[in-house]
Structure 1
Amino acid sequence: MRLHEYQAKGLFADAGIPTPDSRLATSVDEVVDAGRDMGYPVAVKAQVHVGGRGKAGGIEIATDEDELREAAESIIGMDLKGYHVDRVLVESAVDFTNELYLGVTLDRGEGEPVVMVSSEGGVDIEEVAAETPEAIAREGVDPAYGLHPFQARKAVYEAGVPGDVARAVSSVLETLYDLWENNDASEAEINPLMVTSEGDVVAADAVMNVDDDALFRHPDLAEMEEESYTDDLERKAGEYGFDYVRLSGNVGIIGNGAGLVMTTLDLVDYYGGEPANFLDIGGGAKAERVANALDMVFSDPNVDSVVFNIFGGITRGDEVARGINDALAQFDEIPKPVVVRLAGTNAEEGMEILNTELVQVERTLEEAVQRAVANAEEGNL
């Protein structure tokens, strides 16, 4: 479960991490009222699960009421990388002199948690990792003992954080790790952690993703789950029990396994297309489950074509094919072209069973993806 910024900041503030004064708003009038109460300048920040909100127009700074109203009218209701903005965070602007990055995640290669610190905050950490990896200090953590204070100080020192704020930054890093561990999070980030001219540090952004399978241990977080959905598609995915991430492209992707879906995403990109989603329907591909997946993908107005990448393991290919046929037969009209690739147990039998009046069938994944990309290009003409 991915928390919104305002939800994560609430957790951070309760744990003692400094955050700006802020208020959630769902209307222009609420935004203006918040600005009057907090004073100017303030930031208006779209609450959607996408990166690069500022570059996409989802974050604006206002220095007076006229600018604030204009910013609110521009952001509330906008489409931001495929997400409808229905709420914003109004936040006191921070007068800063430096921006840092702090993060905690799981290093799957090493099989342990890792904390990260960079003096190049305020930009996508992926860009920093690709262009200047030496700017990110990393420190592995033994989960049996947690993050020791000396490890936090070491990471902060190696990142080149100025000495006058190093102690405060180390303290925030320790608290961030505790939040990550205690809430069964997969990621926790602050980008940027702003340093003010007075030498204070303030978390100007907050990210926390929580393991869905651990929510039963965190009823307080489970209550946030419904609010964490950004749109109806994510809400549907939660109801159907799918692993789903909405993206900004127009090629809908459905697979039965995270690895298969990720491979398909990569190939869509490789062949010049843009993925519209990550959708893993999990084990089994019975008619109802396939129909639910198609309902989700067809409901996305950005989707111009769909590709199924299905591997028959325990579930046989012929069963999968019947499920796809039955699911598509439930639609009066197939709204988008659907390409299917089957592999694995009884794949040949499944390919023969598939109704080619309803789907386009390809024998290799590469051919299926190329055809889906071509279908999407035709849909855009």
Structure 2
Amino acid sequence: MAFRVGLAARLGGFVARLPEHQGKALLAAAGVAVPRGEAVRDAGAARQVAERLGGPVVVKAQAQTTGRASRGLIRFADDPAAAEAAARAILGADVEKFPVTEVLVEERLTVASEVYAGIILDDLRRCPLLLVSSRGGTGIEEVAKANPEAVAELLLDPVEGLADHQARELWRRVGVRGNAQRLLADATVRLWRVVRQVEARAAEINPLVVTGDGRVVALDCRITVDDAAVFRHPELGIEVARELGHPPTPLERIAWDVERDDYRGTFYFLQMREGFQRGEGVLAFHGAGGGGSMMAMDALQRQGFAVANFCDTSGNPPASKVYRAARILLSQPNIDGYFGSGSGVASQEQFHSARGLVKAFLEEPLTVPCVVRLGGNGEEKAIEILTTYTRDLGVPVECYGKDTPVERCAARLRELLANFSPPQPRPPRGSARAATRPYTFRTLTGTVTYDHDVCARCASKVCVSACVPQILTLSPEGLPVLAITAEEAARGRCSECLACEVDCHALGAGGGWVDLPIPGLEEYRRSRGME
């Protein structure tokens, strides 16, 4: 059997990987045997666990990496003193930017044979895929290449699941017979139950061992949960459902909370640089679509820029989500500019992005040059909104459509920076507003307020005509009010298009605004001296 696509490619998406000891706890709760042991955070506790286990143990770094043994992150200990020494040697080690803060101390087992069992969500075939192999302990893809007869696979029906006879047949195909076949099939069915329970995109037991006394035990496991399902599983304690390549920064945690709490569209934020100074050519980068964003970052690099972050707001996010993304990007100290660009053919309404950016730029306020390339649906309207509504900022803000190459946009930002001096002193942040005659309603993630005393003086009533979901009307007194119930607005009928604020302030009397909290951001900014 030849693998058509590698496991990493099959997984796709974003996932949250559980530490080994947590995965084993889930397996044990489902009835899969695991070694006796405990995860601890200091060497003295490791010694105590070894004393309770009463025999040779294995001390394993709880690090999300492969090849732990070759890195000295798995050590054998014959007695409690050796277990303490092993834990002391492992704890505090840096593994791919992650410090090791926990070790798992387990009983050492006598192993007769090692096999592999794994279930992944195959994005190409859109269903779970069960893989088993009679050879465990090494990468499944390497085994499949060298010994294809040792690997078997089965596509699973997500509704029907996995029956015992199916699991037994799969193990039979790789040469497992007798009682071992029965026990391995049982463990595999229970692994499927764990996958369903936590909505995992992948769950692998490698190795799954047959011990000297005939038991089947999960010696190691890797379970990853789909980030879209994390909010349904608070019991897992996943703080940030992203594989970032480093421990989450405070700003990445704030950004993840925005994404976690708003299902509309996608907001991905990865901080790539910190501690830089003004004048080093480091930009805030705001992309829309992965491929186009990569091209834009390459263009910036060719112009001599570096990016402080990677950011992607795609999947047709509301203006409110783009606003929050922009506020987070602008909370990176000492950036020299703001650059936005995506694929140029995004199937999302670009005027939502434009309004989100305008609100963020005016509130901040923006103090660095900005070039944005908004290609896609409604780009002409988006360009007009962004360039017209920010013209009084006092800093250059230029917007282009898909017909302007991203290389030209990057070069234009370089030209703007060549003759730019930051405004001194820094303009103050937009202050909190208070209405003398408020009309207020809740939205999905914020609050809309109108000051009807100001609205009474407005001739354009643009907030009503510009409202994208058309949920506003004029009262008999000519004041903007909801045309739907407040409950409907709070449940999402108000799409948070921000026209009631952005267009109102540009073309009306400025009587409407939208409060969109970003928990933790103000505290973060104060800690960085930005307030």
TM-score normalized by the length of structure 1? 0.71
Specify the SS of the correspondent of 1:189.
strand
Q: Cα gap change, 1:19/1:258 in structure 2, threshold over 3 Å: closer, same or farther? A: farther
Tell me whether 1:72 sits opposite 2:90 in the alignment: no
**1:162 Cα deviation from its structure 2 partner:** 4.2
Instruction: Please state how far the C-alpha of 1:122 moved relative to its aligned partner.
Output: 0.8
Classify 1:55/1:280 alpha carbon distance in 2 versus 1 (closer, same or farther; 3 Å): farther
Match of 2:112 in 1: 97
Shift of residue 71 of structure 1?
Answer: 1.4
Secondary structure of the 2:70 match is coil
**Residue 232 of structure 1: which of 210, 235, 248 is its match?**
248
For 1:245-256, what aligned pairs fall within 5 Å after superposition? 256=288
| 8 Å CA contact retained: 1:3, 1:228 | no
Separation (CA, whole Å) in 2 of partners of 1:58 and 1:245: 28
Task: Decide which of 194, 199, 213 is 1:179's aligned counterpart.
Answer: 194
Distance in 2 (CA, whole Å) between partners of 1:358 and 1:59 is 54
Q: Distance in 2 between matches of 1:246 and 1:59?
A: 31
Amino acid at match of 1:232: P
- Cα distance in 1, alignment partners of residues 65 and 271 from structure 2: 10
Match of 2:425 in 1: none
Q: Say yes or no: does 1:113 pair with 2:128.
A: yes
Distance 2:60 2:294 in 1: 30
Question: Could you say what secondary structure the match of 1:52 adopts?
Answer: coil
Report the Cα distance in structure 2 between the residues aligned to 1:331 and 1:67, rounded to whole angstroms.
58
2:12 alignment partner in structure 1:
none
Work out the CA distance in 1 between the residues paired with 2:160 and 2:134: 27
- 1:3 to 1:117, Cα distance in 2 relative to 1, 3 A: same
- Read off the aligned partner of 2:122 and give its amino acid letter: D
For 1:238, give the aligned amino acid: W
SS of equivalent to 1:137: strand
| 8 Å CA contact retained: 2:291, 2:343 | no
1:311–1:171 distance in 2 versus 1, CA, 3 Å: same
Matched position secondary structure for 1:89 = strand
Q: Which SS does the other structure have where 1:226 is aligned? A: coil
User: 2:296·2:342 contact (CA, 8 Å) conserved in 1?
Assistant: no
CA contact (8 A) 1:310 1:341 kept: no
Q: CA deviation at 1:232?
A: 3.2
- Does residue 63 in structure 1 map to residue 78 in structure 2? yes
Aligned CA distance change for structure 1 residues 227 and 44 (closer, same or farther; 3 Å): farther
1:352 aligns with 2:409: yes
Question: Larger relative CO (CA 8 A, sep 6+): 1 or 2?
Answer: 1
Cα distance in 2 for partners of 1:228, 1:214 equals 9
Identity %: 33
Distance in 2 of aligned mates of 1:68 and 1:22: 12
Deviation at 1:143, TM superposition (A): 2.1
Q: Could you tell me how far apart the structure 2 residues matched to 1:245 and 1:197 are?
A: 47
CA deviation string 1:125-172 (max 9, x = no partner): 233244444422101122231112221011111122243311000000
CA 168–243 in structure 1, closer or farther in 2 if over 3 Å, else same: farther
RMSD: 4.6
Out of 48, 66, 69, the residue aligned to residue 54 of structure 1 is: 69
Alignment of 1:85 with 2:100, yes or no, is yes
Q: CA deviation at 1:110?
A: 2.6
Q: Which runs of 5+ in 2 are unaligned?
A: 1-15, 260-266, 273-284, 298-308, 377-400, 418-531
Aligned partners of 2:57, 2:366: CA distance in 1, in Å?
A: 49
- Within 2, Cα distance between the matches of 1:173 and 1:291? 47
Question: Contact 1:281 / 1:293 at 8 angstroms: preserved in 2?
Answer: no
Task: Check 1:39–1:243 CA distance in 2 against 1; reply closer, same or farther (3 A cut).
Answer: farther
Q: Which runs of 5 or more structure 1 residues have no equivalent in the other structure?
A: 248-252, 266-276, 299-306, 334-339, 360-381
Cα distance change, pair 239–67 in 1 and its aligned pair in 2 (3 A): same
Contact 1:58–1:80 (CA<8 Å) still a contact in 2? no
Going from structure 1 to structure 2, the CA distance change for 1:60 and 1:201 (only over 3 Å counts) comes to same
Amino acid across the alignment from 1:310: G
Measured in 2, the distance between the counterparts of 1:161 and 1:143 equals 26
Query: Secondary structure at the residue paired with 2:48?
Result: helix
Corresponding position of 2:510:
none
Q: Say which is worse superposed, 194-203 or 309-318, in terms of deviation.
A: 309-318
Structure 2 residue 155 is matched with structure 1 residue 140: yes
Partner of 1:310: 342
Q: Which residue of 1 aligns with 2:48?
A: 33
Residue type of the alignment partner of 2:247? D
The superposition leaves residues 3-29 of structure 1 with CA deviations (integer Å, 9 ceiling, x where unpaired) of 111111111101110001111111111
Distance 1:279 1:94, change over 3 A: farther
Residue 30 of structure 2 contacts residue 193 of structure 2 at CA under 8 Å; is this kept in 1?
no
Residues 114 and 141 of structure 1 are in contact (CA less than 8 Å); yes or no, is this contact kept in structure 2? yes
Instruction: Kindly name which structure, 1 or 2, has the bigger radius of gyration based on alpha carbons.
Output: 2
For the Cα contact (< 8 Å) 1:311–1:342, is it kept in 2?
no
Query: After superposition, what is the alpha-carbon deviation per residue over 1:61-88, rounded to whole angstroms, capped at 9, x for unaligned?
Result: 1112343222112211100122111111
Encode CA deviations 1:277-299: one digit per residue, 9 max, x unaligned: 99755456957625746989x9x
DSSP-derived class of the 1:122 partner: coil
Is residue 128 of structure 1 aligned with residue 143 of structure 2?
yes
Distance 1:184 1:240 in 2: 21
> What amino acid is the match of 1:100?
V
Q: Is the 8 A contact 1:19 1:204 kept in 2?
A: yes
